[in-house]
Structure 1
Amino acid sequence: MSAPIVGSRYAYLGPAGTFTEAALRQVVGPDEATYLPQTDVTSAIAAVRSGDADFAVVAIESTAEGGVTATLDSLSTGEPLVLLREMLVPVQFTLAAAPGRTLADVRRISAHPHAWVQCRRWIAQHLPDAVHVPATSNTAPAALIAQADGPLPFDAALVPPPSLDTYGLTALAHDVADNATAVTRFVLVGHPGDVPAPTGADKTTLVVHLPDNEAGALLAMLEQFAARGVNLSRIESRPIGDALGRYSFSLDAEGHVLDERVGEAIMGLRRRCPFVRFLGSYPRADAVAPTVHVGTADADFVEARAWLRGVRDGSAT
């Protein structure tokens, strides 16, 4: 798989100052690469597929909302892309406005839908009559405030704290997120290639469709992992879109495709399921190694296969 390199082009959810840009800075600095801000996640991924960008950085999961559906859906169809690494970004928000405004002036708040969800209890307590004006990103309303030469359809915005200096805004309230430990998980997306070597603390992402009209199909899928001691750190259903009641599953497995237990589980999925898309094996951002249960280490699988070969050729019993 393609590795991020200096001088590459990186599509991300812009404009400047988003949490996505903070995740991108963990990969490569703006002085070493070309940053290509996009209006939404789908456009960032599409830029990689079209060749307008070499990589994309997009949000895939948050502690507040779970999976980011736009990312999951974009990766599950179309030209195959893979995840090369993940980045974790703490998420907090500031209620900000143009200089001169006060909290008493606020009736309409612009915010990305995920930001609104993460701050709704604070808003209900302090600004119960405020209405939500959706924004395309966490810094889009900040940019509009900075550029405005007339009235805007909102009075204030929920923005990342660094946006205050970037766009010259005034803070009306700090730390307005309901969860002080909120984190969003981002991924670096690129084209398929050679799978990187395991680090011992990896994650593998897959998209799986279940057989139609088969009782126990979900259980059969999960058993492919359970029987081989592979833990799932995330599993979400998404509509396939061609008919009601048809769903695919997006999941993260602890381990690397080159680990014997993970490879065996994926082969089991391939035998049982009509569609399996491999979205990459990559290092975990928290570097936590998985628990390897008795009988599921690589050496256990290798020994078992050697024993079976002996049984088949008569050299073992």
Structure 2
Amino acid sequence: MTTTVAFLGPAGTFTEDALLKLAMTGVYGSGEVTPLPVASPAAALDAVRDGSADFACVAIENSVDGPVTPTFDALTSAPGVQIYREVDLDIAFSIMVRPGTRAADVRTLSTHPVGYQQVKSWAEENIPQAGYVSASSNAAAAEAVAAGEVDAAAAPHRAAEIFGLETIATNIADFDGARTRFVAVGPRGVPTQRTGNDRTSVVFTLPHEPGTLVGALTEFAHRGVDLTRIESRPTRRVFGTYKFHVDLLGHIEDLPLAEALRALWLRTDHLEFLGSWPAATGDGGEDRLATDLARLEQASQWVNNAREGKDNQ
């Protein structure tokens, strides 16, 4: 059985690399994986919604430029999709040109806007004469170099091999240890099985009243549920109204998190579950969770003892 996975193309992007690494986790199933290059994260997610792809692989956050807002917007632009897995990639670029081109000849440098933030200092120091040209993806920039539309591209090294280019610099990253997180997104379904080191994501809107956001976040704080990220994005319906995207440590099967989400639902105008899945790194709250669950069991026992008239000393 073949599984089609949409990704930001063309071939040679970091997203394609992430797609292949996610395939090794088994998230797409056990059959053959067919990559489907598309022009944007929104197009990748729409391919899942309309059935032309079984999954999508999209970038969601990077350590240099923060959240990938087109992905956040696309995740909630229409219902029907859910996150099932994540992978973190180290990000470093090669600078590639047409054969015979020297650094001094470069007048235009192209890459994705997120990628540009990770090579900007290098470019200013080494090819200061080059103007920046935005590309839909890093590999699309390499493709544009091959077509003669720009002089150089910052892209994954593999893109040079794909498009027949030469590299004039490798392992370029203005920030050491730069990483990007990618997620596998599929149709709405049962969340990935709990591992004890998990991440959960939801998005919600609130009544436009004083204190509603503080009250919503208090539901997590009271239950010891950690937030790793909160972002606001315009609803695009009424000026000054926002969708709040929240990443939480834990799984929806964890009682504290489930209770927090139940209480949150009562406070929101709309609450959407985007998935629970294994965290790529050891920051999913696994050590604290065992303690929290033990404390909850003790608290439940205290209540039962009180109900039954037993000593709670």
Q: TM-score, normalised by structure 1?
A: 0.90
Residue 232 (structure 1) aligned with residue 227 (structure 2): yes
Match in the other structure for 1:252 = 247
Aligned counterparts, 1:151-190, within 5 A: 151-152=148-149, 154-190=150-186
Number of paired residues? 307
Residue 145 (structure 1) aligned with residue 145 (structure 2): yes
Judging changes above 3 Å, is the alpha-carbon distance between structure 1 residues 57 and 255 closer, same or farther for their aligned structure 2 residues? same
Structure 1 residue 171 displacement after superposition: 1.1
Structure 1 residue 88 displacement after superposition: 0.8
Match in the other structure for 1:85 = 85
Matched position secondary structure for 1:132: strand
Aligned counterparts, 1:45-194, within 5 A: 45-146=45-146, 148=147, 151-152=148-149, 154-194=150-190
Deviations 1:17-75 (A, max 9, x none): 11001101112279921110111111000000000000000000001111111110111
1:181 corresponds to which letter in structure 2? G
Identity %: 39
Residue 266 (structure 1) aligned with residue 261 (structure 2): yes
Aligned counterparts of 1:68 and 1:199: Cα–Cα separation in 2: 26
Deviations 1:185-236 (A, max 9, x none): 000001122233310100001102122122x222212211111111111111
Match in the other structure for 1:199 = 195
Matched position secondary structure for 1:258: coil
1:172 corresponds to which letter in structure 2? I
Matched position secondary structure for 1:74: helix
Matched position secondary structure for 2:171: coil
Aligned counterparts of 1:27 and 1:291: Cα–Cα separation in 2: 22
Structure 1 residue 307 displacement after superposition: 4.1
Structure 1 residue 243 displacement after superposition: 2.1
Aligned counterparts of 2:182 and 2:302: Cα–Cα separation in 1: 43
Structure 1 residue 266 displacement after superposition: 0.6
Judging changes above 3 Å, is the alpha-carbon distance between structure 1 residues 296 and 243 closer, same or farther for their aligned structure 2 residues? farther
Structure 1 residue 272 displacement after superposition: 1.2
When structure 1 is superposed on structure 2, of 264-273 and 191-200 the one drifting more is 191-200
Match in the other structure for 1:222 = 217
When structure 1 is superposed on structure 2, of 259-268 and 237-246 the one drifting more is 237-246
Task: Confirm or deny: 8 A CA contact 1:229 1:293 kept in the other structure.
Answer: no
Matched position secondary structure for 1:99: coil
1:167 corresponds to which letter in structure 2? F
Say which of 4, 20, 27 aligns to 1:25.
20
Structure 1 residue 315 displacement after superposition: 6.4
Judging changes above 3 Å, is the alpha-carbon distance between structure 1 residues 246 and 17 closer, same or farther for their aligned structure 2 residues? same
Say which of 5, 27, 30 aligns to 1:10.
5
Task: Confirm or deny: 8 A CA contact 1:106 1:156 kept in the other structure.
Answer: yes
Deviations 1:134-154 (A, max 9, x none): 1111101222333x3xx42x2
Matched position secondary structure for 1:119: helix
Say which of 275, 278, 283 aligns to 2:273.
278
Match in the other structure for 1:209 = 205
2:296 corresponds to which letter in structure 1? F
When structure 1 is superposed on structure 2, of 192-201 and 245-254 the one drifting more is 192-201
Deviations 1:161-181 (A, max 9, x none): 122222221112223320121
Judging changes above 3 Å, is the alpha-carbon distance between structure 1 residues 279 and 163 closer, same or farther for their aligned structure 2 residues? same
Gaps of 5+ in 1: 1-5
Matched position secondary structure for 1:297: helix
Match in the other structure for 1:3 = none
Judging changes above 3 Å, is the alpha-carbon distance between structure 1 residues 167 and 117 closer, same or farther for their aligned structure 2 residues? same
Task: Confirm or deny: 8 A CA contact 1:229 1:296 kept in the other structure.
Answer: no
Let me know the Cα RMSD of the aligned residues: 2.2
Matched position secondary structure for 2:238: coil
Aligned counterparts of 2:289 and 2:96: Cα–Cα separation in 1: 54
2:236 corresponds to which letter in structure 1? G
Aligned counterparts of 1:144 and 1:292: Cα–Cα separation in 2: 48
